[in-house]
A and B are shown apart, each in its own frame.
Chain A
Amino acid sequence: MSKGSFLNASIGRKFLMSITGLFLIMFLMVHMSINLLLIFDDSGDLYNIAAHFMATNPLIKIMEPILALGFVIHIAWSLIITYQNMKARPVNYAKTEQGINSAWASRNMLILGAMLFIYMGIHLANFWWKMKFAGDPLLEHITVKGVEMENAYALVSELFKNSVIFSIVYILGGWLLGLHISHGFWSAFQTIGLNNQIWRKRLFIVAKVIGWIFTIGFGIIPIYFMIKF
């Protein structure tokens, strides 16, 4: 990248963050919708059919590397941006009252992101790794409506039924995500330039609502299994 190029400019970097961020939000919307099938059908059939569909659909196969790339770019650029921004103030204030003029989440996006990253590691090890590579006795094939598939429902539900610790980790993960997005969503529109005096209030509210939808939507699943079983 040459000096002065778009991706090296402050606004260009932020543009990449916002586009990848919004893309990740779209992915998570789909992800959460499918997950919620877990609590709407205790036989597990609905969830297993959906999971089987996602695992075998060619379009999803194409999206997987794009999704991974989205994460990589979002994380890599978040580190670059945060480093540049810290460098811009070589001597810090002895006393500052930032809490008065800005929200905590807006000031700590990297910390929230880093915790989300750890959470994602745990999450991938719990499910994705086992489904894709390592395998697990719980995944033993079942037949739903004449189609043979892995019992993903058993893998997920058994984790939450048996482990309070993991349940709490997942509830916390949903909460962190909600915080990240309650700032990230409206911030992304601001970065792209799709904002003005009227829309900022609307976007701000929508961001909060989406944040809460994620917090509750992801959090309710472990809670459901903890309480019901």
Chain B
Amino acid sequence: MADITLNKIYVKVWRQNSPKDSGRFETYEVENISQGSSFLEMLDILNDNLIREGKDPIAFDHDCREGICGMCSLYVNGRAHGPDRDITTCQLHMRKFKEGETITIEPWRAGAFPVIKDLIVDRTAFEKIQQAGGFVSVNTGGVPDGNAIPISKVDADEAMDAAACIGCGACVATCKNSSAMLFVAAKVSQFAKLPQGKVEGARRAKAMVAKMDELGFGGCTNTGACELECPKAISISHIARLNREYLVAKLAD
């Protein structure tokens, strides 16, 4: 089936020269976009036009363009990663948009994710939370036998589901409180269910939550928006586990 071509669309995009610049919206016209092209390809075409006109292209993050690295961000038409479920922006296609539509593109908005330029934000805060406890610090020694440590299928599955988090930040971007709870919950959960990770469970939960608070992310009010916008559909049940791990760890202090 041949793809329909959008004769003209309008792209209203956030332009900001530097972290200090106050920024503003600019609206651009883009013509002849196939609905089969990806959203980022549409931005590539727009940027190509801008470069030909001698203007500054729009800065946006991307890398793998296949939904696994988490680099692409973008708040498109009021939703993190745009109008579709369980996808990153690089997996968003132009068939989700209509002829003549004005598409609004904004950077992730959160105090903890300052804008570097245009649509690119600094997500170092996630690295800092990881460095506070998102690892196993015991020496692992030699490779153990495959079945030497029995782990139930249920636990292994839950840990794997949590480990699917790609650190994209959509949870923070979409949360009305800019809370990083889903991200932190995923990182805590992927270890909490496994014997190697359990050992440092209490310390990990306390350290990562303390870092998250320190970096200025908001708190969780259980709206559940993050789970629906997370490209990996990480469940908010992991947030319940994080709360549990944290509260038990604090009670033991």
Q: Taking CB as reference atom, which chain B residue is nearest A90? A: B111
Q: Of residues B104, B110, B177, B242, which shows the largest number of chain A Cβ atoms within 10 Å of its Cβ?
A: B177
Interface presence of A56 (CB below 8 A):
no
Q: Mark A60-101, 1 if CB is under 8 A from B, else 0.
A: 000000000000000000000100111111111111111011
Would you list 30 pairs from A and B whose C-beta atoms are within 8 A, ordered by A residue?
A6-B250, A9-B209, A10-B219, A11-B209, A11-B219, A11-B242, A81-B221, A85-B218, A85-B221, A86-B177, A87-B218, A88-B177, A88-B217, A89-B178, A91-B109, A93-B75, A94-B25, A95-B77, A101-B79, A102-B228, A103-B223, A103-B224, A106-B221, A192-B244, A193-B240, A193-B241, A194-B240, A195-B237, A196-B240, A196-B241
In the assembly, what is the distance between CA of A1 and CA of B246, in Å?
A: 19
Q: Given A101-B174, A106-B224, is A190 in contact with B210 using a C-beta cutoff of 8 Å? A: no
Are A4 and B106 in contact, with the CB atoms below 8 A? no
Are A85 and B179 in contact, with the CB atoms below 8 A? yes
Q: Taking CB as reference atom, which chain B residue is nearest A99? A: B78
Q: Which of B112, B216, B225 contacts A102 (CB 8 A)?
A: B225
Interface presence of B65 (CB below 8 A):
no
* A191: chain B residues within 8 A (beta carbon): 220, 222, 243
- With A89-B111, A97-B77, A187-B222 known, 12 other A-B pairs at CB within 8 A are A14-B221, A81-B219, A84-B218, A85-B218, A89-B178, A93-B109, A98-B78, A102-B225, A186-B222, A190-B222, A190-B239, A196-B241
Interface presence of A47 (CB below 8 A):
no
Q: Mark B99-110, 1 if CB is under 8 A from A, else 0.
A: 000001010011
In the assembly, what is the distance between CA of A86 and CA of B176, in Å?
A: 8
Q: Which of B229, B237, B247 contacts A101 (CB 8 A)?
A: B229
Docked complex: B6-57 residues within 8 A CB-CB of A: 25
Docked complex: B110-161 residues within 8 A CB-CB of A: 110-112
Query: How many residues on chain B are close to A (CB under 8 Å)?
Result: 47
Interface presence of B234 (CB below 8 A):
no
Are B78 and A96 in contact, with the CB atoms below 8 A? yes
Interface presence of B235 (CB below 8 A):
yes
Docked complex: B169-217 residues within 8 A CB-CB of A: 174, 176-179, 181, 209-210, 212-213, 216-217
- How many chain A residues sit at the interface, stated as a range, is 35 or more
* A208: chain B residues within 8 A (beta carbon): none
Q: Is the interface of B mostly helix, strand, loop or mixed?
A: mixed
Nearest Cβ in chain B — how far from A136, in angstroms?
A: 41
* B240: chain A residues within 8 A (beta carbon): 189-190, 193-196, 200
Nearest Cβ in chain A — how far from B16, in angstroms?
A: 10
Are B79 and A97 in contact, with the CB atoms below 8 A? yes
* A214: chain B residues within 8 A (beta carbon): none
Are B176 and A98 in contact, with the CB atoms below 8 A? yes
In the assembly, what is the distance between CA of A90 and CA of B235, in Å?
A: 27
Docked complex: A95-124 residues within 8 A CB-CB of B: 95-98, 100-103, 106-107, 109
In the assembly, what is the distance between CA of A194 and CA of B247, in Å?
A: 11
Q: Taking CB as reference atom, which chain B residue is nearest A92? A: B109
Q: Taking CB as reference atom, which chain A residue is nearest B158? A: A197
In the assembly, what is the distance between CA of A189 and CA of B216, in Å?
A: 25
Nearest Cβ in chain A — how far from B188, in angstroms?
A: 12
* A15: chain B residues within 8 A (beta carbon): 247
